[in-house]
Amino acid sequence: MINSIHPGLILILSGIVIMLVPEKLRKVLMIAGPVIAAFAAWSLNQASCLCLEIVPKITLQLLHVDSLTKMFLVIFSAASLIGAVYALSSQNRFETGLEAIYAGSSMGAVLAGDWITLIIFWEIMAVSSWLIVTSAGTERASKAGFRYLMVHLLGGNLLLAGIIMKVAGGSMDITCLTGTGDAAFWLIFLGVAVNAAIPPLNSWVSDAYPEAPMGGTVYMASFTTKVGMFYIIRLFAGTEFLLWVGVFMAIYGASMALIENDLRRLFSYHIVSQLGYIVAAAAVGGALGIDGAAAHTFNNILYKGVLFMCCGAVITATGKRRISDLSGLYRKMPLTSICFLIASLSIAGFPLLNGFVSKSLIMNAMAEGGYHAAEILLMVASVGTLLSIALKVNYFVFFGKADGCTERNTVLEVKPVPLNMKIAMVMGTAGCVIIGVMPDLLYGLTPFGSDGHPFTVDHVTQYIELFSAATLAFVMYIRHMAPHVAITLDFDWFYRKPLAAAVRWTSGAVSGLFETCGRLVSRLVAAGSRYLHRPSAMLEDLGVKIPRRKGGIEDDDVLMKPAGSLVAINVTLGIVIAAVVLAILKVRGAV
Amino acid sequence: MSKKKKTVYLLLAAVMVISVIIEVLFAHPHYHMLWNLVPGFDLIIGFAGAWGLILLAKVIMAGVLQRDEDYYDKNSMSSPSGKDGDVND
């Protein structure tokens, strides 16, 4: 039954066409695809239906629309449009087509009404995002892409195993799993946890995102982890142990970002940190918790998109990706610097910007639920976000002077940033400011319509006090805040070092075993060949002396080998026949 | 102490004082935990949190987790890449 258009399928189709058509038409399609998808998404309602019967009794429900889905569709449409504008200057038709397919499959995953539809779009998402990473064309990208694919195939298989258990149990429709606690719950949770970047399954974010093309990173930051968040909310809202998982993520991401030197790796850690807030809010559950989680995901896509876009602009303009190689860019890239400043204050939760609006919902959910320790720790994580992005990056990259570690910057060449990149950055930044000033626009989209009352005096002064005290600490310890030229080990160390060594050792041991077996067999063949050539050699080897006649037939190579072989075959046959006869006699005797 | 740093300290002090005064005069906390009721308590959380995080990240985590940039390339069969951090590596 069909009564609506699927926005995800529109984007997937546009992505396929984008790869095939000439450049001018490609650019038109890159913008037209997300715009048409946005209209299709906006026209969906709870009665929307798109069902396909693939085999008798198994019907795919491609459109399942509720208020949570609708909210995610709005932001996914906006993100795919902003991402497309940003990627307009890309010459790689393969990459730009894949980005549309990836965005479409993310919408498809969010819209799935049954488990099988979910796993289909989930896997398309994994494969298309892997291809986006590798489309950067560098050796680093190809290696990081391989690790990305391995982790996501593991997640996909865990999810599939859980889904098979669910479907075998007769439940085709996606339903909330909170409180079930069976094997299917854990398998599906682990599968979703990979996309949700829940430690220790988080390191693919900071491993792969920095290696993807600039436009690709903007897309990836907007979709994979956010689909993960959608399913954390939809399947696991109210699962209490996730509260501490979320709090850990928030603190861990901010702390890792504090010592990170690579810009895109730093922002990747902030994805983990912000996802921590969302996971914690979803764990609290209830109207406030679910609305807080959904609203924060919505805002996260906006400000994280701007941060990655600004970062891409800096890398495009300077060719540098490390903070220690950059400084004082404000004078050379004022628009990028201002967009970055606004987005960085948004992510920290500064009043009048969108992060503040959704954090208010989350903090209210914590306070009302009585989770006071978690509330304090999330405040500390906000302080960490301020330190590591809003203060550290703004000071060392954009607004501060060269400070010891950035002497090389004096000869830094800054190329102009393409206009489309600037427009996309401004679009995202405008979204951050508009929602920050008019929070009701966002609250109106949330599943339960909760109001975070963000602009009460106690809320605003709370954040001003937190941030001014944290800024004081930053200024006091500014010498220690400069990043070092180093890499930071994460959970990916386990599969890049010990697991890689174990694989190397195992393959070495197996090939060594085969080599030894091969040597043994060739020795046996050599020895056998000698005996076949001259059976009397066997007796000689056993110490029996055989008189040899010079010029005798035993010296004739041509004849001796077949003769020896015949003897060997006859002896073997004789032994086999004797064994069979003995066996028959024994059986008869027994009877 | 440089003049610039002094100005930043003075500005921060002014912001903190004004914020606490506004909190004392106008705030009506919805929740009743210590940090909601005691004016300026968020300053303590902010400073202690920042100090603790800087200590955790810059001293403990950096000491334990940071390695040379070619750490993962050392056992690799391929040539080390990314040594100078440029995007064209």
Say yes or no for a CB contact (<8 Å) between B61 and A255. yes
- What average pLDDT does range B55-69 have in this prediction? 89
Structural domain boundaries enclosing A454: 239-482
Average pLDDT, chain A: 90
> Out of B31, B46, B81, whose CB is closest to A465?
B46
Mean pLDDT of A470-479: 93
A578 and A536 assigned to the same domain? yes
Asked if A213 and A332 sit in the same domain, the reply is no
Cis peptide preceding A199, ω within 30 of 0: no
Q: What is the pLDDT of residues A176-203, one digit of tens each?
A: 999 898 999 999 999 999 999 999 999 9
Does the pLDDT of residue A480 top 90, yes or no?
no
Residue A515 belongs to what H/E stretch? helix A498-533
Whether residue A473 lies within 8 A of chain B, CB to CB, comes out as: yes
What average pLDDT does the segment A558-584 reach?
82
Average pLDDT over residues A428-454: 94
Q: Any residues with CB less than 8 A from the CB of A178 and at least 6 apart, and which?
A: A235, A236, A237, A238, A239, A285
Residues of chain A with pLDDT > 90, as a percent, come to 73
A496/B50 Cβ within 8 A: no
Instruction: Write down the residue that tokens 């996802």 correspond to.
Output: A275
Which two three-digit tokens encode residue B23? 């909190």
**Residue A417 lies inside a defined structural domain of this protein:** yes
Residues A116 and A55 reside in one and the same domain: yes
User: Could you tell me the end-to-end alpha-carbon distance of chain A, in angstroms, rounded to an integer?
Assistant: 73
What is the token pair recorded at A444?
């109106």
- Residue in A closest to B30 by C-alpha: A458
> Rounded distance, CA B81 to CA A70, Å?
44
Per-residue pLDDT, B78:
41
In this structure, the answer to whether residues A438 and A568 fall within a common structural domain is: no
Region A283-302 average pLDDT: 96
Give the tokens for residue A136: 């950067």
CA closest to A254 among chain B residues: B53
**What residue numbers bound the domain in which B45 lies?**
3-67
pLDDT grade, residue A549 (50/70/90)? low
Report if residue A51 sits inside a domain: yes
Structure-token pair, residue A497: 């070092």
* pLDDT(A560) > 90: no
Tell me whether A472 touches chain B (CB under 8 Å): yes
Tell me if A139 is assigned to some domain.
Answer: yes
A86 pLDDT higher than 90: yes
pLDDT tens digits for A98-147? 999 999 999 999 999 999 999 999 999 999 999 999 999 899 999 999 99
Contact A367 B33 (CB under 8 A): yes
Work out the percent of chain A whose per-residue pLDDT is above 70. Answer: 94
Query: Please, what sign has the CA dihedral across residues A537, A540, A546, A549?
Result: positive
pLDDT by residue (tens digit) across A210-255? 999 999 999 999 999 999 999 999 999 999 999 999 999 999 999 9
Specify the pLDDT at position A123. 96
Q: What is the mean pLDDT of residues A481-501?
A: 87
Q: Is residue B48 part of a domain?
A: yes
Best CA proximity match to A361, nearest among A251, A250, A444: A444
For residue A563, pLDDT over 80 is answered with: no
Tell me the per-residue pLDDT of B41-54, one tens digit each, with 9 for 90 and over.
899 999 999 999 99
Per-window interface: A 135-154 vs B, CB < 8 A: 138-140
DSSP state of B79: P
Q: What is the 3-state secondary structure (H, E, C) of A157-179?
A: HHHHHHHHHHHHCCCCECCCCCC
Task: Give the predicted TM-score (pTM) of the model.
Answer: 0.86
- Please, which pLDDT band fits residue A473 given cuts at 50, 70 and 90? very high
How would you class A203 by CB atoms within 10 Å of its CB: exposed for 0-12, middle for 13-18, buried for 19 or more?
buried
Domain annotation covers residue B74:
no
Q: Residue A403: its pLDDT value, please?
A: 47
Q: What is the pLDDT of residues A319-353, one digit of tens each?
A: 999 998 898 899 889 999 999 999 999 999 999 99
Residue A233 lies in a domain: no
CA-to-CA dists, residue A229 to A2, A95, A176, A242, A279, angstroms: 28, 25, 14, 12, 7
What's the pLDDT score for residue B81?
A: 40
Set of chain A residues whose Cβ sits within 8 Å of the Cβ of B32: none
Contact B46/A466, CB-based, under 8 Å? yes
Q: What is the pLDDT of residue A552?
A: 54
- Asked whether residue A225 is assigned to any structural domain, the reply reads no
- Contact (CB<8Å) A488/B56: no
Q: What is the pLDDT of residue A410?
A: 57
Q: Is residue A9 part of a domain?
A: yes
CB-side neighbour CA atoms (13 Å) of B14: 6
Which residues are within 8 A (CB) of A99 and not within 5 positions of it... i.e. 6 or more apart?
A15, A83, A84, A87, A132, A215, A216, A219
A503 touches chain B (CB under 8 A): no
**Which positions in chain B touch A484 (Cβ < 8 Å)?**
62, 66
Q: How do residues B5-61 score in pLDDT, each as one tens digit? A: 899 999 999 999 999 999 888 877 777 677 777 888 899 999 999 999 999 998 899
**What pLDDT is recorded for position B87?**
42
Asked if B46 lies within 8 A of A469 by C-beta distance, the reply is yes
The residue out of A425, A450, A482 marking a domain boundary is A482
Task: Using pLDDT thresholds of 50, 70 and 90, give the confidence band for residue A446.
Answer: very high
Residue of chain A minimizing CA distance to B10:
A472
Q: Would you place residue B4 in the very low, low, confident or very high pLDDT band (cuts 50, 70, 90)?
A: confident
Please say if the pLDDT value at position B85 is more than 50.
no
Give yes or no for residue A553 having a pLDDT over 80. no
A266 C-beta neighbours (distance < 10 Å), count: 26
Q: Looking at the predicted structure, is the pLDDT value of residue A360 above 70?
A: yes
Q: Which two tokens stand for residue A426?
A: 């401004």
Same domain, A157 and A262: no
A205, A276 contact by CB (below 8 A): no
Judged by CB atoms closer than 8 Å, whether chains meet at A254 and B53 is answered as yes
What's the confidence (pLDDT) of residue A542? 82
Q: What is the pLDDT of residue A3?
A: 65
Total of domains in chain B: 1
Name the A residues in 439-468 with CB < 8 Å from any B CB. 453, 456-458, 461-468
CB contact under 8 A, B89 and A138: yes
> Radius of gyration over alpha carbons of chain A, in Å?
32
Considering only CA atoms, which of A418, A247, A403 is closest in space to residue A326? Answer: A403
Q: Which candidate from B9, B33, B54 shows the least CB-CB separation from A480?
A: B54
Range A373-397 average pLDDT:
94
How many Å is the maximal CA-CA distance in chain A?
117
- Which of B16, B36, B86 is nearest residue A319 as measured by Cβ atoms? B86
Interface subset of A 564-583, CB within 8 angstroms of B: none
Tell me how far apart the alpha carbons of residues A256 and B57 are, in angstroms, rounded to a whole number: 7
Do A531 and A583 belong together in one domain?
Answer: yes
Q: What residues have CB less than 8 Å from A138, skipping those under 6 apart?
A: A211, B81, B89
Q: Please indicate, yes or no, whether residues A138 and A259 belong to a single structural domain of this protein.
A: no
> Same structural domain for residues A147 and A100?
yes
Chains A, B: CB pairs < 8 Å: 176
pLDDT value, residue A557: 59
Higher pLDDT, A7 or A485: A7
Residue B62 lies in a domain: yes
In a domain, B80, yes or no: no
Report the DSSP pairing between strands A487-488 and A51-55.
Answer: unpaired
- In a 10 Å sphere around its CB, with 0-12 CB exposed, 13-18 middle and 19+ buried, how is residue A128 labelled? buried
A244 and A365 fall within a common domain: yes
Q: Quick check: is B84 in a domain?
A: no
Asked if the structure places residue B23 within a domain, the reply is yes
Mean pLDDT of A242-269: 94
Mutate: best of B36, B58, B70, B84, partner A, most A CBs <10 A? B58
Domain count of the fold of chain A:
3
pLDDT at B82 over 60: no
